[in-house]
Structure formats: C-alpha cells, structure tokens
Amino acid sequence: MSRSVNIPEGYKSHLSLRETQHAIKQIKDTFQQSLSFALTLDRVTAPLIVPKDSGINDDLNGVERKVEFSIKEIETNAEVVQSLAKWKRMALYRYGYKPGEGIYTDMNAIRRDDNVDNIHSIFVDQWDWEKVITAEDRNIEFLKDTVRSIVKAIVYTKRQVTLRYPQINNPINEDVFFITTQELLDKYPDLDTKAREDAIVKEHGTVFIMGIGAPLSNGEPHDGRAPDYDDWSLNGDLMVWNEVLGHALEISSMGIRVDSKSLASQLKAANAEDRMKFEFHKLIAEGTMPLTIGGGIGQSRLCMFLLEKAHIGEVQASVWTEDMYKEFEAKGITLL
C-alpha cells in the first residue's frame, strides 16, 4: 500500500474517540439536511454494485482497476462502484425529475488503486448529488451560484459543530474565490498542479478551480476527468485551506454535465468514442437524457476538515498497513 503520510509535529486531536464519533454523526446529519434544503434535493437509495460493462460505473481517469466479482445466479460479473456520476443522471431520467429538482445519496465506493495518504483511503464515502437543469442554466454563473450554496451549507454545519465543541475553531472563508485552471497556470507558471492549488487556496481560504479535464497552454490538463460526465468547460473542484496539514484540501468535485455536443467532442479528445455503444451515452447524444449539474462531496474529507483531524483514518474505518497502525499509535493518533 503506497503512502505519503505526514503527521504535524505536536498534533493532538481536540476530541476523544467517543466525542469524535458523536461529532461525525452531527456533521453528517446537519450537512445533508442543509445541502438538501439549499439545492432542493430528495434523498434516494443508490447501488453499491453495478453490472460490468453496463457503462454506468465511473471510469475516473480510465486506468483505475475496478473491484469485480462473479455472482452465482447471474452470468454477468458485477463491479463495486467507483462513483455514481452516471448512475445519478440515469436515475433522474428514470424517476421523471424536472428542472430545479434533484437527488442526493450516501455513496460508498472502493477505489483500489488510490494512493493512500493523510486524505486518501481506498474506501470512499461521499454525498453524491445530481439536479436537473435547463439549457439556459448551462453557464458559469449558474455553476458559481451552486458552489456558493454548498459552501453556505458547510459554514452552517461548522457553526453547529463549534457550538458543541468550541475548542474546534479554525475559520472557514464563506467568500468563495473563483479561478480557472488556465488563469491559475498563468499565475504560477513555475509550480506544479498541487503547488498551484496550495498557493491559491492558502491566499484565499476557499477556492473553486474551474475547467478541469482539457489540456491547458502547457499541453497538460490540470487534473484528469472522465470525458462522459462533466463538461470540462463547466466543472471544477471546491477546495479549502487545511490549517492542520498546511495544504489545500479538495472537498468536492462537481460540474454541469455533458450535453450531446460536449459529449461528442470530449469522447473524441479522449479517444473513447467506443463508449457510444452504451445506453447512457446514446440517451445523451439523442437529447433524451435530462441536462443536469452534480457532484460528490467527501463525507470523511468534510469531517476531517471540520474536526481538524490530521488523518482521514481518524474519521472513517478502512484498511491500513500494520506499520501505519504502529506509527500512528506512537504519535497519539487513533485510527477508527
């Protein structure tokens, strides 16, 4: 299990193990209610597994291995989801949701090829959400307004947790700074991607970095994005400054989803036009699938940030190497 773990000198959790568990529940209860209200979302049940070769599972960057297994009474193998980016949009279509209406769900996934460090685990838990929009909503200002609503829900949740645990008092900047990936590259041409993120988020506190997936002027994308869910010109990552670890922390990846035009161009750019054989892609191409905006908000990431924890294993139960358990125990960190 590869890792790059940094435990800050002198770090000590503000909360006991039991207090941490109570606080995690408070955060999850409060935030999902706030998010649901802010974006007009219904909670729905979502799958942990999907049929292999259905085209529904998230391909992430296209190279990550999915967890696959056979089922005794079904000929087709199943896969554990990596995210629900495509499933959510299909659900809105099947359930008959209209513009202005949407859904959210507790998404649990396994990403076996993720590198494990302070903020990454092979177990992924998110609030995955998706909302039907109109063609007129497919613009940057609508995207920004949605980001602001999510940040307000995070800030409200922080206030509620701080009332109960006043020792947790690192501030959150509610005023979101928006910047495109090309503007960010132009501002810091000599820094790599992560260093650029750290620099801009340290300066502004809460930042939404827009336009992820397409190559920039240096010939490289800011980060990888599958070509068949986000519109690369209308998406982004929401980041906050993590004072405990001293770097930017991505809380959410989100965006306005592809329409028929952007799907065709992005599949071509990614040399992935073979995906047009799937029902999901055909429905988008023919204009039958509703236009949507959506994203994922990391549950453990948010808990880690709001509770000022140094490692994601302090707020979620996952699998770690034996030496990691010993190392953290020696430094006073309890992994769930």
CATH number at residue 131: 3.30.930.10
Active site residue 250: yes
Instruction: Give the global pTM.
Output: 0.90
Catalytic residue selected from 26, 126, 266, 299: 126
Judge whether 174 lies within some domain. yes
Look at residue 2 in the predicted model and tell me its pLDDT: 42
Give pLDDT, residue 8. 79
pLDDT block averages, 10 residues each, the chain of length 336: 64 88 95 95 90 73 75 82 84 95 90 76 89 97 98 96 92 95 97 95 97 94 89 97 93 95 94 90 93 94 93 85 77 77
Is 26 part of a structural domain of the chain?
yes
Question: Is 82 one of the catalytic residues?
Answer: no
58 is a catalytic site residue? yes
- Name the active-site residue from 111, 196, 257, 301: 111
Residue 173 maps to a domain: yes
Is 42 inside a domain boundary?
yes
Question: Is 210 a member of any domain?
Answer: yes
CA 201 to chain centre: 17
335 assigned to some structural domain: no
Q: Is 43 a catalytic residue?
A: no
160 is annotated as an active-site residue: no
123 within a domain of the structure (yes/no): yes
Instruction: Report the distance separating Cα 180 and Cα 234, nearest Å.
Output: 10
> Would residue 186 show up in a list of annotated catalytic residues for this protein?
no
Look up the domain containing 275 and give its range: 3-330
Q: Catalytic: which of 237, 259, 308, 314?
A: 237
Number of domains, the chain: 1
Q: In sequence order, what are the beta bridge partners of 178?
A: 208
pLDDT at 4: 59
Does residue 263 belong to any structural domain of this protein? yes
